[in-house]
A and B are shown apart, each in its own frame.
Chain A
Amino acid sequence: MIDFADKPILELRNVQKSFAGKHVLRGVDLTVARGQSLVIIGGSGTGKSVTIKCALGLMTPEQGEILFDGQLITDPKQLDALRRRTGMLFQGGALFDSLTVWENVAFALLYRDSVGRAEAKRRAIENLAKVRLPASAADLRPAELSGGMQKRVALARAITATPELIFFDEPTTGLDPITADAVNNLIVEQVKALGAAAVSITHDMASVRKIADEVAMLHEGRIIWRGPVSALDNSGNPHIDQFVNGRADGPIQPAI
């Protein structure tokens, strides 16, 4: 199903990052194959978001290498090329609240690719339809939408530039279980339609089972386990067992 012999779309080698003397990432190694959906799980504050932000160049790791499509990212030009071929869905949606919904969705077309406004709006409405939003939502402001709708607009924005790799930062956090499931379905559907790879971070196990091909667990700044989603329930790893079953007692200390 997945061709692991192919060159990985994304590779992180020994990525380290600390804040004010506190080591958050202590050497993360991660590869994502083309078309693969990898979900990173881990407790709150274990550096899942930091990992993604390092991969996208939104944070600069102190050590380690990021490779995109086999190429080492070293200068701003390469980083720009990486960002052109990737998309990201932020935790809070991060929609631009001074713009309308369609301008958000078509942002990359309008400001990067210099597509005309009429054409950009047409394509934005097309993409809104893909996430089951009506054309009537196009002229609203993000603040006028519910949380679930904002996530869907953010998804439409992330897929507009037809990325080869999409990052999802806690796509279902803050949504009710039914809306969360709908968002999960849309993610699977759209990622498949694009043939893109996906890296998601979440601690919602329902989301993990729905969208993951493979699961990696981040604990104390390192990837301590990785395997197919089917192996989650009999991994034999006490960390995974504790996380999957949501127990406060075990090798992982609760973050309170």
Chain B
Amino acid sequence: MTAATQSASPTPTSPIEDSPLLRPFRLIGRTVLAGFREIGRITTFSGRVLLACVTPVIYLREVLRQCLKIGFFSLPVVGLTAVFIGAALALNIYTGGARFNAEQFVPNIVVVGITRELGPVLAALMLAGRVSAGIAAEIGAMRVTEQIDALLTLSAKPERYLYAPRVIAGILTLPLLVLVADIIGVLGGYLVAVSTLDFNGSLYLRNSWNFVTGNDIWSGLIKAAFFGGIISLMGCYQGDRSKGGAGGVGRAATLAVVGAAVLVLASNYVLTSIFVRMGL
């Protein structure tokens, strides 16, 4: 819109304004403004979609279908991530702990590390790749083949029929996936500890279970719900905005993954500092 009005009214610029020396500053200004515009667009889009998530009509059939797609079919990738991270974590903590004779704390630190931090964050990052890109590509393809316009002409709002079910499914299923990742992650640590570090198996598990608190697990699951919402929202947002054929759909998928991953990590810090302040 602004580009249109600018080019429509060619105002004569003074030589100073047009000076090449000012170009870097103009570029900075333009980038900053574009950044704010993008933040504004994401915020209004998210507001619209979240409103559609909590007000009727909610299409349960679509929500279930998305839960299956986003949640259930992500189980293998989340499980694999968790088992390897748990195993590597146990080895690293054993090595580090050995420097001050604290090898016996491996189970305690693995269980806290997995439930509070690595479970939710790594599951979310894997889903940022798998789910965000998938949603962005699907919605983007619907946009460029006029299916979104077709929805509107059939009086169905895309935020209700397409976006809200995906966001609800993200918020509901990521905590469940993280719960699975917590268990499998601890199991990964257990396998390494028992097989190569000479830990007693039942003692390892008892130490883990006695040490972990409800707060450790809950804080991870609450984070996961936020991450699930962010991942789905970014996919929907970038897909909704895509234009220009196959290239546009590809760009939407890329932007969705990058945006979702960065937002997951940033909000992870914010949420963690809030939890720490609350003593959670």
- Partner-B contacts on A (CB < 8 A): 18-21, 53, 56-58, 80, 83-84, 86-88, 90-92, 94-98, 107-108, 111-112, 157, 161
Contacts and interface: CB of A to CB of B under 8 A. Distances in A.
A168 B161 CA distance: 24
B154 A111 contact: yes
B4 A83 contact: no
A58 B152 contact: yes
Contacts of B156: 107-108, 111-112
A83 B150 contact: no
A20 B3 contact: yes
Contacts of B146: 90-92, 94
B58 to A, nearest CB: 12
A161 B153 CA distance: 11
A94 B7 contact: no
A90 B4 CA distance: 28
A95 B150 CA distance: 8
A118 B267 CA distance: 45
The 10 A-B pairs of least Cβ separation, nearest first, read A94-B150, A21-B7, A94-B146, A88-B153, A21-B4, A90-B146, A108-B154, A112-B155, A83-B155, A94-B147
Given A56-B153, A58-B153, A92 B145 contact: yes
Given A20-B4, A21-B4, A112 B149 contact: no
A108 B150 CA distance: 11
Contacts of B3: 20-21
Interface string B138-162: 1000100111011111111000010
Interface of B: 3-4, 6-8, 59, 138, 142, 145-147, 149-156, 161
Given A21-B4, A90-B149, 17 more contacts: A18-B8, A19-B4, A21-B3, A21-B6, A57-B152, A58-B149, A87-B153, A88-B149, A94-B145, A94-B146, A94-B147, A107-B154, A108-B155, A111-B156, A112-B155, A112-B156, A157-B154
Contacts of B142: 96
B154 A161 contact: yes
14 contacts: A19-B4, A20-B3, A53-B149, A58-B149, A80-B155, A83-B154, A88-B149, A92-B146, A97-B147, A107-B156, A108-B154, A111-B156, A112-B154, A112-B156
B153 to A, nearest CB: 4
A97 B3 CA distance: 36
B153 A86 contact: yes
Contacts of A53: 149
Contacts of B59: 111
Contacts of A21: 3-4, 6-8
A11 B4 CA distance: 27
A91 to B, nearest CB: 7
Contacts of B153: 56, 58, 83, 86-88
Contacts of A58: 149, 152-153
A96 B4 contact: no
Contacts of B7: 20-21
Nearest to B147: A94
A237 to B, nearest CB: 31
A83 B156 CA distance: 10
Between A21, A108, A161, the greatest number of chain B beta carbons within 10 A of the residue's beta carbon is seen for A21
A195 B142 CA distance: 31
Contacts of A90: 146, 149-150
Contacts of A20: 3-4, 7
Contacts of B149: 53, 58, 88, 90, 94
A227 B136 CA distance: 46
B216 to A, nearest CB: 39
A56 B148 CA distance: 13
Contacts of B151: 96
Given A20-B3, A21-B8, A111-B59, A84 B150 contact: no
A87 B3 CA distance: 34
A120 to B, nearest CB: 13
A227 B3 CA distance: 38
A26 to B, nearest CB: 13
Nearest to A117: B61
